[in-house]
Amino acid sequence: MAKTKELSKDTRNKIVDLHQVGKTESAIGKQLGLKKSTVGAIIRKWKTYKTTDNLPRSGAPRKISPRGVKMITRTVSKNPRTTRGDLVNDLQRAGTKVTKPTISNTLRRQGLKSCSARRVPLLKPVHVQARLKFAREHLDDPDEDWENVIWSDETKIELFGKNSTRRVWRTKNAELHPKNTIPTVKHGGGNIMLWGCFSAKGPGRLIRVKERMNGAMYREILSENLLPSARALKMKRGWVFQHDNDPKHTARATKEWLRKKHFKVLEWPSQSPDLNPIEN
């Protein structure tokens, strides 16, 4: 349940003043735009304690002072990779002994929570400039232009990933139930390589690559699958093909093959997988 906003001291005093001149709780509530129950609580408090000020609350006082809160908030803002252990040590050196859960709760109240860091491409200044140039050049492209692009990529899929992790909801002592486990095999279990493409109209062909892909194999895959995919997707005349800057894609023989086939290729900035919707 969301916390309600605390009434100001002036509003609480006004409630008491109106009560003393004989107004009912309902009338006071209507005049001040408050609930009758809220007005009644303030009046009962005044009758009992002769004050509308906040009374001492029950519960243990917070261990981290406002100054300490500012210090650890400033620390994680400067360096988000700071660990709870680091913050515990910082506060201990400042004379405050706290636990890691206390650190978590304090930062959560400041709107900060621990999350897994997103993995993003390592960008050099030249990559940043190329991506910015690409974005500016295509900033005003109409939706119809993007609907006329066939996006493509290769991917390797682990059949039994060594690092596969999943969260499951289960009862106590049910950790070994088949529904709650991830099957594993020794030495990873192998993988498969796939090439695929799609457009705004839907998916194109998905091809398994059975051998190590080289430039010649890549051109063979395009020859056998790209044009049939474009036809199946009913792409408009002058459709555009997208692939990244993998050496097999940018090889002179591949560029020449695409030119002879009269395929229009979307110029692609390096280190930009996040710009390709097929990555999702």
For residues 82 and 90, give the distance between their C-alpha atoms in angstroms, rounded to a whole number. Answer: 11
pLDDT of amino acid 274: 85
Mean of pLDDT values over 121-127: 87
Residues 145/129, Cβ–Cβ less than 8 Å: no
In this prediction, residue 132 carries a pLDDT of: 94
C-beta atoms surrounding 229 within 10 Å: 23
pLDDT band at 232 (very low <50, low <70, confident <90, very high): very high
- Which residue pairs from 3-12 have beta carbons closer than 8 angstroms and sit at least 24 positions apart in sequence? 6/54, 7/34, 7/38, 7/42, 9/52, 9/53, 12/42, 12/52
Q: Residue 165 has what pLDDT?
A: 61
Task: Report pLDDT digits (tens) over 39-73.
Answer: 999 999 899 888 888 777 667 778 888 899 999 99
Residue-wise pLDDT for 210-224, tens only, equals 888 899 999 999 999
Asked which of 80-89, 138-147, 183-192, 261-270 is least confident by mean pLDDT, the reply is 183-192
For residue 120, pLDDT beyond 90: no
| Number of continuous H segments (helices) and E segments (strands) in the chain | 11, 5
pLDDT at 195 over 60: yes
Domain segments of the chain: what residues? 9-49, 66-110, 141-158+189-279
Q: Determine the pLDDT at residue 1.
A: 46
DSSP secondary structure letters along 109-125: HTT----PPPP-----H
What are residue 169's phi and psi, to 5 degrees?
A: -95, 120
How much is the pLDDT for 4? Answer: 65
Question: Which numeric CATH code is attached to 141-158+189-279?
Answer: 3.30.420.10
**Considering the chain, what is the average pLDDT of its residues?**
87
Higher pLDDT, 112 or 119: 112
Residue 167, φ and ψ in degrees, nearest 5: -100, 140
Q: What is the pTM of this model?
A: 0.58
Please say if the pLDDT value at position 101 is more than 80: yes
175 — pLDDT class (breaks 50, 70, 90): confident
